[in-house]
Homo-oligomer: A and B are copies of this chain.
Amino acid sequence: MQQSTRPSAEERRFLAAYDPSRYERPSVTVDVVLLTVRGTEVHVLLGQRVNHPARGTWGLPGGFVQPDESLDEAAARVLADKAGLRGIFTEQLYTFGSPARDPRTRVISVAYYALVDADTLADAVGGARKDHHVVARVVVPWGGEAGGPVNALDAEGRPLPLAFDHADIIGTAIRRLRGKVGYAPLGFELLPDAFTLRDLRLIHEAILQRPLNKDSFRRHVLGQGLVAPTGARATGVGHRPPELYRFATR
């Protein structure tokens, strides 16, 4: 980011006299849509609200932006505190600021989305956080990149009521993911270090919720040079063992 020029003496006097309390200020939070893929379905980490407002409903991990941290840092802090995850792919998504979206007061939420492979998420959530956190299945009631709110289901398929506008926020994350997965190397964020091309294709199919051509997918991925063979092969698969690949940083 570009640094502004050094303030003059006159500007320093102005700044010293500046009173920020003259303006009514909203609260600003960061909410993180932490997504993974289990089997053929996208899942999201939700926490059950133990306090009002909307107590008992399920919401995204989030927190107020602290005075000394950037928005990216706030998102990383939320991920570390609430999910025990560090260093995973995280990107700003959209900022939600409808005046009535939180009944407490004016709360503007800068939403982020993050991607992690299912095993790492299971390990992270399996600890002390188990009680009030769930990795919920996301049901997307629209195709392509139409957009709109989504539904969340628990492991038994029961719907989980979502807090505030979090159904919209998750829907926005799904739309972003669908839009980017075709040309950006996002699938690797959802897989362990070594994976087969079939694994990668199933990730894409789970995100897009439509079948992809096996041959074209293979050609496309190999042609992009985004993956490199490890030399190893998967074992115990009951058929010809596939090559294991890793993400190639070009």
**Which one of B53, B68, B162 lies within 8 Å of A7 (CB-CB)?**
B53
CB A232 to nearest CB in B, in angstroms, measures 35
A213 is an interface residue with CB less than 8 A from chain B: no
Segment at the B interface, from A22-30, A118-126, A220-228: A22-30
Flag whether A242 is at the interface (Cβ < 8 A).
no
Residues of B within 8 A of A70 (CB): 97-99
From residue A195, how far is it (CB to closest CB) to chain B in Å? Answer: 27
A229 within 8 A of B: no
Residue from B10, B28, B99, B108 within 8 A of A52 (CB atoms) = B10
- Chain B residues in 8 Å Cβ range of A53: 4, 7, 11, 14-15
CB proximity to B under 8 Å, residues A86-113: 92, 94-95, 97-99, 101, 103-106, 108, 110
- C-beta contact mask, A1-41 vs B, less than 8 Å → 1, else 0? 11011010011001100101001111110000000000000
Docked-complex contact A7 and B103, CB < 8 angstroms: yes
A108 surroundings in chain B (CB, below 8 A): 28, 65, 71, 108, 110
> Given A28-B25, A65-B97 in contact, is the A11-B71 Cβ separation under 8 Å?
no
Chain A count of residues within 8 A CB distance of the other chain: 52
Distance in angstroms between the alpha carbons of A112 and B161 in the assembled complex: 32
A1 in contact with B110 given A11-B55, A103-B7 (CB within 8 Å): no
Q: Which of A136-144, A164-172, A201-209 contacts B (4 or more CB under 8 A)?
A: A164-172
The answer to the question of A147 belonging to the interface, with a C-beta cut-off of 8 Å to chain B, is no
A-B CB contact pairs (8 Å), 17 listed:
A1-B165, A2-B149, A2-B165, A10-B52, A11-B52, A14-B52, A15-B53, A18-B105, A20-B27, A23-B27, A25-B27, A28-B28, A69-B99, A71-B97, A92-B94, A108-B108, A108-B110
B-contacting residues of A (Cβ < 8 Å)? 1-2, 4-5, 7, 10-11, 14-15, 18, 20, 23-28, 51-55, 57, 64-71, 92, 94-95, 97-99, 101, 103-106, 108, 110, 149, 161-165, 167-168
Known: A11-B54, A20-B27, A26-B28. 20 other contacts (CB 8 A): A1-B98, A1-B101, A1-B165, A2-B149, A2-B162, A2-B165, A2-B167, A4-B163, A4-B165, A7-B53, A11-B55, A15-B104, A20-B105, A23-B64, A25-B25, A28-B28, A70-B97, A70-B99, A71-B97, A95-B110
